[in-house]
Structure 1
Amino acid sequence: MTSTTGTEQAHTATAPEWPMSRATGCPFDPPPTLRAEQEQGSLGKVTLWDGTTPWLVTHYADQRAILADPRISADVTRPGYPSSAPVKGASFSFILMDDPEHARQRRMVTAPFTIKRVEAMRPAVQKIVDGLIDDMLAGPPQADLVQAFALPVPSLVICELLGVPYADHDFFQENSKTLISRSAAPEVRAEAHGNLIGYLDELMGHKIARPADDLLSGLGTRVEGGELSRREAAEMGVLLLLAGHETTANMIALGTLALLEHPGQLALLRDTEDPKVVAGAVEELLRYLNITHGGRRRVALEDIEMGGEVIRAGDGIIVPNDIGNRDPEVFADPDRLDLRRDARRHVAFGFGVHQCLGQPLARMELQVVYSTLYRRIPTLRLDAPLEELSFKHDGAVYGVYELPVAW
C-alpha cells in the first residue's frame, strides 16, 4: 500500500466535484472552478460520483505529455479508471482499450478516414449541405437549425460511409442521445446501448450475406476471416455511428451560435472565398468550443512524476481538453474567439495514440458547412434570447438541444 504526500492529501481534502458546472451566461467557456484549478497549478484532484478522487491535469503541456505517455492506460476495466458511470457488465470498443489490441482494431477502420479518402468525399458533402439549405430556404424563414441542418449533415455522411440506412436515423439518433446522457439512469443507458448493438449486429449480418462498398461490409469481411467477432464488429459500428454524427452535429450548431454572438467573426467567414481562412476558422472554433467536455480519462500503470507531484500506479487521471485549449501559456488571450488565430495546436481531438480517428472527416464537414451556410443565408440570425436556449450540460458531448434561427 502506497502512502500519500501532504500536498496530495491537501488536494484530496479540497477536491471539487466532477463534472463541474459552467457559469450562467457563459455557455462557451469552461467552468470557472476548472479555470481556478488551472490557475492554481497543473495538477489537482476532483471527486467523482463514486467518491473516488482522480488527478485533474489542466495545463496544456502536461495534458499532451500525459496523453502521449505509454505508462497510462485507456482501459476502462482497469482498477482505478475514473469512469463516468458504472461499467459492470458493459462491453467496449477499441477507444477504451490499450495497445496492441487498440491498434489492431483501429487499423481495421483507418483507411476511410485518411485525408485523401476524406477529400474525395468533399463534393458529396457539399451536395448534402446545399440540399439541406435549399430545403430550409424553400420553407418558412425560420427553423430549428439542429433538426433542419446540423444533425442531418453528419448523419447523412456517416450513414453513407458506414452503409447504414439513413431511413433509420430517428432510431439511432434517439438511442445515441440517451447513451451519452449523464442524466439518464444506468439501466436506461444500458438499454439504449443494447438497442444500438442489436441494430448494428443485425445490419452486420446483412453485410456479411450481401457485402457492399462500405465500412461495415469491410468489417463483415474481417468477421468472416476470424479477425473479429460479430459482437466486436457491432461495437465498432456503434462507436463510429455515434461519434460520426453526434460530435459534428453539436459542433455545427454550437459553432453557429458562437458566430452569431460574434458577428465580426461571422463576417470573416461569410465574406471569404479563401479555403485557408475557412480551415483556420474551423481550428479556432474547435479550440474555443471543445464540445467533448467530460475530459479524457486514463489510469496510471506506473508511478509518474509531474509538477512536483507523483501520480501513483493505479491512480485515475482526467484530462479536460477544454481548459487545455484555454491555457494562456499557449494561446494568447485564450477566451477571445479569433478566427485569424493559428489554433492548429489545439487538443480538441485529444493527443497521442488515442486521438480522434475521424478528425479529418470532421474538419472537412465543418469546412464545407462554415464556408456555405452563412454565405447562402447571409441574414441568418438567432431567433430566441441566448439565455432561453437549452444547453447540453448533461451530455457527454456539449451543444444545444435546439437552435431557433431566422433569416
Structure 2
Amino acid sequence: MPATLPDGEPVPATGELPDGALAGLGERPFGFYVHVPFCATRCGYCDFNTYTAAELGPGASRGDYAETVIEEVRLARRVLGDRAPRVETVFFGGGTPTLLPAADLVRVLAAIDAEFGLAAGAEVTTEANPESVDPASLAELRAGGFTRMSFGMQSAREHVLRVLDRRHTPGRAAQAVAEARAAGFEHVNLDLIYGTPGESDDDWRASLAAAIEAGPDHVSAYSLIVEDGTRLSARIGRGELPMPDDDVAADRYLIAEEMLTAAGFSWYEISNWAASEAGRCRHNLLYWTGGDWWGAGPGAHSHVGGTRWWNVKHPAAYAARLAQGVSPAHAREVLTEDDRAVERLMLELRLSSGYPLAEVAPAARPTVADALSRGLLSPAPFTSGRMVLTLRGRLLADALIRDLT
C-alpha cells in the first residue's frame, strides 16, 4: 500500500457507490482487507502507509483502533446493503497487525462475520513479524477464526536483515512457523526478499533452504524495490550501498524457482509458490482475478464492480471521519471497460492459469506470436487457447505485459 494517495473524484459522505458497481454484487468472490498501520520500527526499504508510536501523533491510538475499524465494517454493510455476499476471504495486513492484541484482531473478524457472515471454509489471514507473536497469541488467533499466518522472514542472514532494518534474529521465523503449526494453523506463508545490497547467491540459497526447512506450505519471494523517500534509497544515494542489479535479481529468481520446485512447491503467481492448491492464498487470487473487496483502515483501497476507492492516509483523520459518521474514503475512480480489460490482462497473465488467447485485442496478436516464438509463452497451453508464461517469460513478464497493453 503506497504512502501517497492518487487523485480521483470525490466520494459521497455516506460512502454510497454508483448503481453500476452494485449491480453484479455477489456474482464475484467478495473479501475484506483490514489495514493495521502500526509498526514497532520502520524498515529502511518500506514506503507503506505505516506509523511507529513516535510518528502516530495525537488523535489516534492502538487501543482504540479495533473499534474504529469496526465502525467502517458497519459502514460497509450499510453501503452494500442486502445484496452484500458472504465474505470468502479476510486479510489483515500492515504494518504489523499482530502489534495489536490478538483479542482486538479477533474482535474485528467477529464484526465482519456479524455484519456480512463468513462463508463456509473462509480463509482468514494475518501478516505478522516473527517477533510479534508467541504461542499464546497464535492459539488465541486460531481459536478466534484465523486460518492462515503470513510471516515476514525476508532473509536468514543477519547482515542482510541488518541492511533491511529488520529486527528479528535469523532463526526466529522458523520458530514462529513451528509455533503456528502447534497452534493449529494448517496454512503458513513465509515472505522472502532477494537482491538486497550485500546479499550473495549463497546468502539467498541459505535463506531459501531455511524457509523450506521451516515447513510452510507457501513461500512468497519478491525482488527488493528501492522506493523514493525511504531510508534505503537515501543510503544508496549517498553511496553507502550499491543499487540492486536487475541481472542479479533475475539470477536469484531462477535460484528460487529451482530450490522451491525441488522442495515440492509450484508457482501459481510469478512471486508466489505453494506446496498444494489448498496452500494458495485465496485472498490474493481474489485480487488477481477481478473479485470484489472492501479495504478497511487508513489508506486502504477497495474495489466493487469496477469502482475503486481509497481511504484517507493518517489514522487520526481516519478515526475522526468515522467518529463523525462520515465515510473515510479520500477519493475514487470508476473504471471503464477498457481499463478493466487492461487490468485483467496485467494480473491474470502473471498466474500459472494464464490468460484467454481469445480475449487478446487484435492489435496485440503480432506481439503474442512474437512472444511465443521467443519462448516467453508455453506452447502446450497456447494450443488450448491460453497464454501461460514460461520460466523465461516470467523473468520478462513486465515488458511483455507493457507490449500487450
Q: What range is the shorter-chain TM-score in? A: under 0.3
The alignment's TM-score, normalised by the length of structure 1, stands at 0.24
Q: Taking CA–CA contacts closer than 8 Å with sequence separation of 6 or more, which of the two structures ends up with the larger relative contact order? A: 1
Identify, as 1 or 2, the structure richer in strand.
Answer: 2
Identify, as 1 or 2, the structure richer in helix.
Answer: 1
